[in-house]
């Protein structure tokens, strides 16, 4: 019985994974609240031959850049002739419109249903090309290509890698049903990778973006699973006596820090990501130690502990030595996640009755509270460190939200139906 359910689930996963990717569907729509201090004015000119296409490129590029809060879209309409090649660009016109950069390009159908997309970013002041890339892609890859173009523009003009071509994971609860989903960073193309009538929590991306670790209650207790996003295959990697939870990947993707209760109390252990071998105990306290998170260099583990009387964030070496308390403001600081540069961490801080996303600098210990929702949870950094994705309780229903790590830009990703929680932003993949 159990194995047939597992087979059924696997089949379901495979079906969803391979059949659905073609149409771009948006279950999550993004609203932007607030913006960056110095927005870069940019004109995105519709690409040649884009008009007749179902999946257009430039609207996606423009929406990505606008969503970051760091760009201001300059009207690209009414310029004759429409520039598609560098020689077409009438720079004084674009400078007069206030554009610092102009994106131009073309789409050309190729044999076998493929498309060649050529894109260039021109500097309006210097009248030079900043970046130029050609892609040959299938129709199903058009939207991803648009995200990659937005990434190239973002990186060239801000100096940070773009994260528009990355993915996010989260859990949607619809009535009694829990769905672990993966979607593009803009909420499009949601895929259900696991559906269950029992809760699923704490999804965590492997560093290469090919696997998810998560906690499922399908066995009437919390058990940690690792599931491949390529094959859909899944495996229980921590299913010990008691509860198993809070998986966190080591940066090399070979190990997981997890919270186990097999020896009494919630303590942090290191296990192999394939479930082999014996767990290595890292914490030795009579208190709660949970929510581990590795530093990007793999040298430190942040975790939540109430060994001092209230839940606070601690750091320790990856062998469990040298634990030390890191948060001192307030009586409830939980859910730490390192920034990609390893210099700060985001966490949830309770202030009065509210739970909000905060960020703390590791060196200076300076804390900044970034959000003002009633119940904000599960913060995770974008892989470029510029945004933090989190869950927010709005009118009793969970939504996903984003806040820039300086607190200036705020986004809300609204699901049309269901209660969305436990988001995690995936890694940059080449």
Work out whether 109 is an interface residue with another protein (CB under 8 A).
no
Tell me if 184 sits within 8 A of 167, measured CB to CB. Answer: yes
Tokens for 160, please give them.
């940070």
Minimum distance from residue 365 beta carbon to another protein (Å): 21
Member of 166, 202, 283, 405 binding another protein (CB under 8 A): 202
Largest CA distance in the chain: 74
Tell me how crowded residue 206 is: count the other CB atoms within 10 A of its CB: 21
Closer to another protein by Cβ: residue 40 or 224: 224
CB of 289 to another protein, least distance (A): 8
Residues in the chain: 430
- Residue 356 makes contact with another protein by CB under 8 A: no
> What does DSSP assign to residue 131?
E
Cβ 45 vs Cβ 56: under 8 Å: no
Pick the binder of another protein from 58, 169, 227, 261 (CB under 8 A): 261
Determine if 259 is a binding residue for another protein (CB under 8 A). Answer: yes
Cα 185 from Cα 316, distance rounded (Å):
32
Interaction between residue 229 and another protein (CB under 8 A): no
CB-based burial of residue 287 (10 Å sphere; 0-12 exposed, 13-18 middle, 19+ buried)?
middle
Q: Which residue has the tokens 């660009």?
A: 89
Binding letters toward another protein, positions 359-398, x by CB under 8 A: ----------------x-xx-----------------x--
Q: Which among 157, 35, 164, 34 has a CA at the least distance from the CA of 100? A: 157
Least gap, CB of 113 to another protein (angstroms):
45
Is residue 114 at the binding interface for another protein, with CB under 8 A as the rule? no
Q: Which of residues 137-156 bind another protein (CB under 8 A)?
A: none
Taking a C-beta distance cutoff of 8 angstroms, is the pair 250, 272 a contact? no
Closest CA to 389 of 377, 380, 398, 399: 380
How far from chain centre, in Å, is Cα 268? 25
Provide the minimum distance between the beta carbon of 261 and another protein in the complex, in angstroms, as a whole number.
5
Site string for another protein, 322-341 (x = CB under 8 A): ----------x-xx------
Contact characters 296-325, another protein, x per CB under 8 A: --------x------x--------------
Considering the complex, what minimum distance in angstroms separates the CB of residue 202 from another protein?
6
- Where does residue 35 rank: exposed (0-12), middle (13-18), buried (19+ CB within 10 A)? middle
Binder to another protein among 21, 86, 199, 407 (CB under 8 A)? 199
Tell me the closest approach of the beta carbon of residue 217 to another protein, in angstroms: 6
Interface positions with another protein (CB under 8 A): 199, 201-202, 217, 220-222, 241-243, 245-246, 259, 261, 264-266, 288, 290-291, 304, 311, 332, 334-335, 348, 350, 355, 375, 377-378, 396, 421-422
């Amino acid at each position: 019985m159990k194995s047939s359910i597992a087979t059924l689930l696997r089949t379901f996963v495979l079906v969803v994974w391979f059949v659905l990717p073609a149409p771009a569907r948006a279950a999550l729509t993004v609203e932007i609240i607030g913006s960056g201090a110095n927005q870069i004015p940019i004109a995105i000119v519709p690409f040649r031959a884009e008009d007749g296409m179902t999946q257009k490129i430039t609207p996606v590029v423009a929406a990505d850049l606008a969503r970051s809060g760091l760009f201001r879209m300059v009207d690209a309409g009414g310029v004759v002739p429409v520039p598609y090649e560098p020689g077409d660009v009438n720079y004084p016109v674009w400078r007069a419109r206030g554009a610092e950069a102009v994106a131009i390009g073309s789409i050309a159908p190729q044999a076998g249903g493929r498309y060649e997309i050529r894109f260039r970013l021109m500097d309006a002041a210097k009248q030079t090309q900043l970046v130029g890339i050609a892609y040959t892609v299938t129709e199903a890859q058009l939207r991803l290509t648009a995200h990659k173009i937005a990434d190239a523009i973002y990186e060239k003009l801000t100096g940070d890698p773009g994260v528009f071509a990355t993915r996010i994971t989260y859990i949607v609860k619809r009535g009694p049903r829990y769905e672990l989903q993966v979607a593009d960073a803009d909420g499009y193309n949601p895929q259900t990778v696991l559906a269950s009538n029992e809760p699923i929590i704490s999804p965590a991306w492997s560093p290469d973006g090919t696997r998810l670790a998560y906690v499922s209650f399908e066995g009437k207790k919390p058990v940690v699973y690792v599931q491949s996003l390529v094959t859909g295959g899944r495996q229980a990697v921590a299913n010990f006596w008691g509860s198993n939870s809070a998986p966190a990947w080591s940066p090399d993707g070979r190990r997981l820090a997890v919270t186990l209760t097999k020896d009494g109390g919630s303590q942090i252990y290191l296990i192999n990501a394939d479930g082999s071998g014996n767990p290595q105990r890292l914490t030795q306290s009579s208190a709660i130690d949970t929510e581990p998170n590795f530093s990007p260099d793999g040298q430190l583990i942040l975790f939540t502990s109430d060994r001092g009387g209230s839940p606070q964030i601690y750091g320790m070496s990856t062998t469990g030595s040298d634990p030390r308390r890191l948060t001192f403001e307030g009586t409830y600081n939980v859910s730490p996640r390192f920034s990609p540069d390893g210099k700060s961490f985001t966490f949830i801080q309770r202030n009065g009755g509210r739970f909000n996303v905060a960020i703390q600098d590791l060196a200076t210990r300076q804390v900044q509270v970034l959000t003002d929702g009633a119940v904000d949870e599960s913060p995770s950094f974008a892989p470029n460190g510029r945004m933090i994705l989190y869950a927010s309780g709005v009118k009793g229903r969970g939504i996903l939200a984003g806040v820039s790590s300086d607190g200036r830009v705020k986004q809300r990703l609204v699901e049309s139906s269901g209660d969305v929680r436990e988001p995690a932003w995936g890694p940059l993949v080449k």
